[in-house]
Every structure is written in C-alpha cells, then in structure tokens.
Amino acid sequence: MLIDMVNRGRWAQHPELLLARSRNGVIRVADLESEDMSSSTIYARCLPGGPWQRPLPGIVLLHNTEPKPEELVNAALLYSGAESMLTGVAACRLHGLRPAALPKGDDLHMLIPHERKVRSTGFVTMERTTRFPEPRMMGDVPAAPLVRATTDAVRRLRASGPVEEVLIEAIQSGRCAPQALLQELNRGTQRGTAIPRRLLSNWIDIRSMAESRARTLSLRLPSPPSHWNCKVLDQRGKYLGRPDAWWDDIGLAWEIDSFDFHFRRADYSRTLKRNTRYTASGILVVQTLPSRIRDDPTGVVNELITAHEAASARPRPPVRVVDIDTADAA
C-alpha cells in the first residue's frame, strides 16, 4: 500500500512522465502498470468524475473532457496493436477528401494482420486481412493508401447515393482512377461491392461519371436536352462534335469537360478546336467543369436556362444530328 501511495504521488506530481509514455495523451493500461501503477488506481481514476477516461478496453485517455478525433484515432491504433493502420472514411479524411462528400460518424475502421485476433468494440471496427497494404504516414498516423481506404469505405455503405459521393470525390481528387478502384474491389472480399463495382464499371470512361450527374441535374431544367452523346454534323455532313447533351430544336450544346479530372489534360487543345467548330457553325455551347455539377448545381442550371433563352432568340444553325446508337462516332 505504501509503495502504491508513493507511486500515485509521483505520477500526480509529475504528469509529464505519463504524457511522455503516452501517444499524445493516450496510453495503454499495460504501460501504466509497467510503471508500477496498480490496476485499482487506474480503475479509480477512470471512474465518472475522475481525471481520466477509458475510451477502449485497455486504453486510457489522460483527461476527462470530450475526446478529440485525433485522440480517438490514437486510441484505436494502440488498441489495434503494432502494424495496424487506419482505413475507410477516417483515412479518406486524412488523405484530404472533403468531409462534406464523406459519410458522417466517428466510427474508425482498422486493418490488422490476418493472424492477429482483436475484436471490434465501441467505435472501432477491426478487419483482419491477408492483403495488408503498405501504409501511408499521414503525420504520425499510418493509413491505408487512398485507393484502398476508398474501397474499404464504400464496401460498408448500403445506398448507391453515398457510395457515388465517396467514389466521385476520390476520383476528382486526381489520385484514384476508376480502373484502380475497380481492380482493388475485385481483388478483395466481394462483400458490399455490388454497388461500387456497378458504378465504376460504368465510369471506366471518366466522362460517363460526369454525365451520370449531368443527366440527374438536367431533370431540374424547364426544357431538358433532346439528345445525349449524339454526333452533330454541319449541312455538308462534316463532323462538328459529340456534345454530352444537345437541344436539337435550338442548336444548343452542353459539354462536360474532362479537364477538371486531371486525367486528360492533353485533350485540352482538342476541346478548343471543337469549340471553334461549334462557333463557326453557329452552335451555342455551354461548358461545365465536373466539379461545378457537384459544388454549384444551381449555378449550372441557371447558366443552362440563360443559354437556352439566348439560343431560342436566334435562328437555329443549319446543322443536323445523328444518334451514336445508329451511327459510328467520329
């Protein structure tokens, strides 16, 4: 009892000693006990009203206020043990994906080597894996690479809307190609992959992902497009372009440019030539970056309405369309 009182006094008088042993204020019970602090003292200090708290089994937070997100991550890493890493939504946040595009919640998804057995509990979900990736250090936090973190995130979602948001955000970051995400899904467990695999299969051509959102947005227009992905020819039959959306009665084109995705910057000069052909033939064209469909849908709708009014006020240009379903695209 005397030794325990001496040790308690030492820790109380020198809290910096505990902080030095901790992971930014988070410490394992085993480490406290290795410093001769009794389990009864640790238990008492973690009771309601005490100076500490226990966010996970065997893990102590060295204060009693609301845990910060980074403290919960550190608690999860200590609970998971050596070689564990953060994945899923929380890892996507660390990689810089916009929180608004990610599901809400404080749950943490951890990857651990397959031979280790640590149970899921509280806010931590453990996943044993034989496909253990090389972690990316995000500060002092080991996290799964963004492609793996993204696929781990969407595998746990059940609705297509949230899955689409996460995938589009990862792709638009410029660090995840649809092919890479689809390959990662196909290599791992097939649980929870039906929705993301279907979406990614449709998005292997990056333009189709933007078009998917554009079609949804077009339903808000008073006059939706008459055609999608049709060939537009001049009166002599010369190819002018293949707009994403087309209003045939007024000769208005809507192009969802791929430049914003960082995949096809070399195509930018081709985009300029296409727009020159449109202008020379009297076609009015609205260009939209994919990110604006996501971030400013109301602004895009207003631009299309204004363009529709302008196109309606001038004679229709002498052009014709050919559906790509009935003709080969140029």
pLDDT tens track for 272-288: 888 899 999 999 999 99
Q: Report which of residues 212 and 102 the model is more confident about.
A: 102
Would residue 8 count as lying in a domain?
A: yes
Residue span of the structural domain in which 39 resides: 2-67
Residues 151 and 248 occupy one common structural domain: no
Look at residue 202 and tell me whether its pLDDT is greater than 80: no
Look at residue 265 and tell me whether its pLDDT is greater than 50: no
Overall average pLDDT of the 57-68 stretch: 95
Look at residue 308 and tell me whether its pLDDT is greater than 50: yes
Overall average pLDDT of the 309-320 stretch: 96
Percent of the chain with pLDDT over 70: 88
Would the pTM count as exceeding 0.85?
A: no
Task: State the virtual CA torsion across 291, 293, 295, 296 in degrees, nearest 10.
Answer: 130
Residue keyed to tokens 């092919």: 179
Would residue 328 count as lying in a domain?
A: no
Half-sphere CA count of 130, side-chain side, radius 13 A: 3
Q: Give me the residues paired with residue 87 across strands.
A: 109
Q: What is the pLDDT of the chain when averaged over all its residues? A: 87
Residue keyed to tokens 């604006």: 292
Look at residue 10 and tell me whether its pLDDT is greater than 70: no
Overall average pLDDT of the 53-69 stretch: 95
Residues 188 and 285 occupy one common structural domain: no
Residues 178 and 92 occupy one common structural domain: yes
4 band by pLDDT with thresholds 50, 70 and 90: very low
Residues 149 and 229 occupy one common structural domain: no
Residues 311 and 213 occupy one common structural domain: yes
What's the CA gap between 182 and 197, in Å, rounded? 6
Residues 58 and 79 occupy one common structural domain: no
Element of type H or E holding 302: helix 297-312
Number of domains making up the chain: 3
Residues 92 and 193 occupy one common structural domain: yes
Percent of the chain with pLDDT over 90: 65
Among 67, 93, 120, where does a domain finish?
Answer: 67
Residues 315 and 216 occupy one common structural domain: yes
Would residue 261 count as lying in a domain?
A: yes
Would residue 53 count as lying in a domain?
A: yes
What's the CA gap between 157 and 109, in Å, rounded? 13
174 band by pLDDT with thresholds 50, 70 and 90: confident
Overall average pLDDT of the 137-164 stretch: 95
Q: Report which of residues 21 and 93 the model is more confident about.
A: 93
Coil, helix or strand at residue 252 = strand
CA atoms 189, 190, 195, 199: torsion sign: positive
Would you state the pLDDT for residue 206? 55
Q: Determine which of 129-143, 175-189, 271-285, 312-326 has the lowest per-residue pLDDT on average.
A: 312-326
What's the CA gap between 230 and 253, in Å, rounded? 10
In contact, 7 and 32? CB cutoff 8 Å:
no
Would residue 330 count as lying in a domain?
A: no
Among 135, 169, 204, where does a domain finish?
Answer: 204
The helix, strand and coil proportions of the chain, stated in percent and rounded to the nearest 5, come to: 45, 20, 35
Residues 175 and 238 occupy one common structural domain: no
Would residue 189 count as lying in a domain?
A: yes
Would you state the pLDDT for residue 236? 92
**Residue 196's CB: how many other CB atoms inside 10 A?**
24
What's the CA gap between 289 and 278, in Å, rounded? 18
Residues 235 and 299 occupy one common structural domain: yes
Of 50, 20, 71, 76, the C-alpha closest to 40 is: 50
Residues 270 and 170 occupy one common structural domain: no
Q: Report which of residues 237 and 330 the model is more confident about.
A: 237
Of 5, 138, 174, 144, the C-alpha closest to 83 is: 144
Residues 248 and 188 occupy one common structural domain: no
Phi-psi map region of 36: left, alpha, beta (phi>0 left; psi -120 to 50 alpha): left
Would residue 141 count as lying in a domain?
A: yes
127-143: per-residue pLDDT in tens?
999 999 999 999 999 99
Would residue 131 count as lying in a domain?
A: yes
Tokens of 35: 């410093």
Overall average pLDDT of the 176-191 stretch: 91
Among 148, 180, 204, where does a domain finish?
Answer: 204
Look at residue 311 and tell me whether its pLDDT is greater than 90: yes
Look at residue 191 and tell me whether its pLDDT is greater than 60: yes
Question: At CB < 8 A and 24+ separation, what contacts does 210-216 make?
Answer: 210/244, 210/256, 210/258, 210/261, 210/290, 210/293, 211/244, 211/256, 212/164, 213/168, 213/290, 213/293, 213/294, 214/244, 214/245, 214/254, 214/256, 214/288, 214/293
Would you state the pLDDT for residue 18? 79
Measured between its terminal Cα atoms, the distance across the chain in Å is: 87
